[in-house]
């Protein structure tokens, strides 16, 4: 089915909104719950297609998962060595997180498995996890470093010390999960801090590990114990409403129960540097994860320079950051973000092309972009099936002079089911067209 968005210009955002559960936390809750001994209860689970792919993969490996409601799961863990060989290839759809993390936890199994996905996922580089896993003793066959991944059975893995060339929570998490099956100690060193959801959640399941910014290590063979996980609202989903409100005078939005893990709050820092009026209220914790309500009021944003120091903490939010830059006064320059070129689309080029279509002076660079703030015009945007690109250009209509049409939006449901309905409720003039 084809899904397109059409958004009329103008409007502003207001009200109290609760975006869906955090995708990163939801993936990990299912994975670790499946590997734990005993019962794990998950509330606030994201029902987006990416996380459902993860859930179905573990069900295919013999894990019983009860849905009390779509977002409330009871996972009956089978223990570290209780997974069963799947009868068929595990289809992970569009989810790079699922594929990279599951490659790690399946690398040490005594059965064969195959990980596959859609056309977009099959283009994304997996060599960055295959190579260190092979150093640990894994046997993995791929299509020149891309999916499908055929993971062959091994008798065991060996812990390694790995110097990651990039700060990547997916690489780090993959190796830590493999490290649970390895003899000895697995260490991951990164050039900068990356998201630490895996470290926090491993501790919640009773695993002992060392973790600090840029470093994580654990000893193999530890047991996981079932627990209760409350998933906060996803800051990457909240980011669209934060930026949309911040760049639109007269907007006043409060986003409730948002995860504010310090490895994920780069979007708040970026918007504040641009002059956004953002207040965090009611700070508290959902288990191991800090949360808060985030109030954003509209203001005139200013162009800024965004360097590598903020990239890892805001990597998924750059599409909407580029839109905020287009609505700001002056020049915004982003550097150190070459990782954006290997996401669901080449997000640097895709966003640059879209901004130019809307009349903005934008220049794609190898590791980022230069954006001159200006007046957004009407136009038709090809999202290239990238959910974050589609949602970002939807918010661009708040500052546009004419209608914005966005093509190929079906994948929005992978991370944010109900996006258009919530956006309409908040004040965006959006309609959804569906066809065969």
Active-site annotation, residues: 316
Question: Quick one: CA torsion of 374, 375, 381, 386, rounded to 10 degrees?
Answer: 50
Q: Where are the beta strands (DSSP E) in 105-264?
A: 113-116, 139-141, 149-152, 157-158, 161-163, 182-183, 185-189, 209-212, 215-219, 228-230, 252-259
d(CA 18, CA 25): 16
Sequence-distant (6+) residues with CB within 8 A of 69 are none
Secondary structure (DSSP) of 160-186: -EEE-SS--HHHHHHHHHHHTTEESEE
In the numeric block, which tokens belong to residue 267? 């979007």
Please state whether 15 falls in left (phi above 0), alpha (psi between -120 and 50) or beta.
Answer: left
d(CA 363, CA 383): 18
Look at strands 277-286 and 305-306 and give their pairing.
unpaired
Q: H or E segment at 24?
A: helix 23-35
Tokens 């092979």, located at residue: 134
Q: Is 287:204 a contact under the CB 8 Å cutoff?
A: yes
d(CA 122, CA 258): 31
């Amino acid at each position: 089915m084809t899904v397109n968005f059409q958004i009329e210009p103008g409007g502003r955002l207001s009200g109290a909104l609760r975006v869906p559960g955090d995708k990163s936390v939801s993936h990990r809750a299912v994975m670790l719950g499946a590997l734990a001994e005993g019962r794990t209860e998950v509330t606030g689970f994201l029902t987006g297609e990416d996380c459902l792919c993860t859930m179905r993969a573990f069900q295919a490996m013999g894990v019983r998962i009860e849905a009390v409601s779509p977002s409330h799961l009871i996972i009956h863990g089978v223990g570290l060595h209780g997974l069963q060989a799947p009868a068929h290839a595990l289809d992970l759809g569009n989810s790079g997180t699922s594929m990279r993390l599951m490659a790690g936890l399946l690398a040490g199994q005594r059965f064969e498995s195959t990980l596959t996905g859609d056309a977009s996922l099959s283009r994304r580089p997996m060599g960055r996890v295959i190579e260190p896993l092979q150093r640990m003793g894994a046997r993995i066959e791929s299509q020149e470093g891309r999916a499908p991944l055929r993971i062959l059975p091994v008798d065991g893995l060996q812990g390694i010390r790995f110097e990651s060339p990039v700060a990547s929570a997916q690489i780090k998490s993959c190796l830590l999960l493999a490290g649970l099956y390895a003899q000895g100690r697995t260490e991951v060193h990164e050039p900068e801090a990356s998201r630490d959801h895996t470290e926090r959640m491993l501790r919640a399941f009773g695993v002992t590990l060392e973790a600090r910014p840029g470093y994580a290590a654990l000893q193999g063979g530890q047991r996981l114990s079932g627990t209760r996980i409350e998933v906060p609202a996803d800051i990457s989903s909240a980011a669209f409403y934060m930026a949309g409100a911040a760049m639109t005078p007269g907007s006043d939005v409060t986003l409730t129960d948002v995860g504010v893990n310090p490895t994920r709050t780069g979007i708040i820092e970026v918007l504040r540097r641009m002059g956004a009026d953002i207040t965090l209220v009611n700070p508290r914790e959902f288990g191991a994860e800090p949360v808060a309500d985030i109030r954003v009021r509209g203001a005139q944003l200013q162009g800024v320079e965004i360097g590598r120091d903020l990239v890892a903490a805001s990597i998924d939010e750059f599409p909407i950051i580029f839109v905020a830059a287009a609505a700001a006064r002056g020049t915004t320059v982003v550097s150190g973000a070459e990782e954006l070129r290997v996401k669901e689309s080449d997000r640097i080029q895709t966003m640059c092309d879209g901004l130019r279509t809307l009349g903005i002076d934008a220049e794609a660079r190898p590791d980022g972009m230069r954006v001159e703030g200006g007046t957004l015009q009407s136009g038709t945007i090809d999202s290239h099936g990238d959910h974050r690109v589609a949602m970002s250009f939807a918010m661009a209509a708040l500052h546009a002079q004419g209608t914005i049409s966005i093509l190929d939006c079906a994948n929005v449901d992978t991370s944010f089911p109900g996006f258009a309905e919530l956006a309409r409720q908040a004040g965006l003039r959006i309609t959804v067209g569906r066809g065969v």
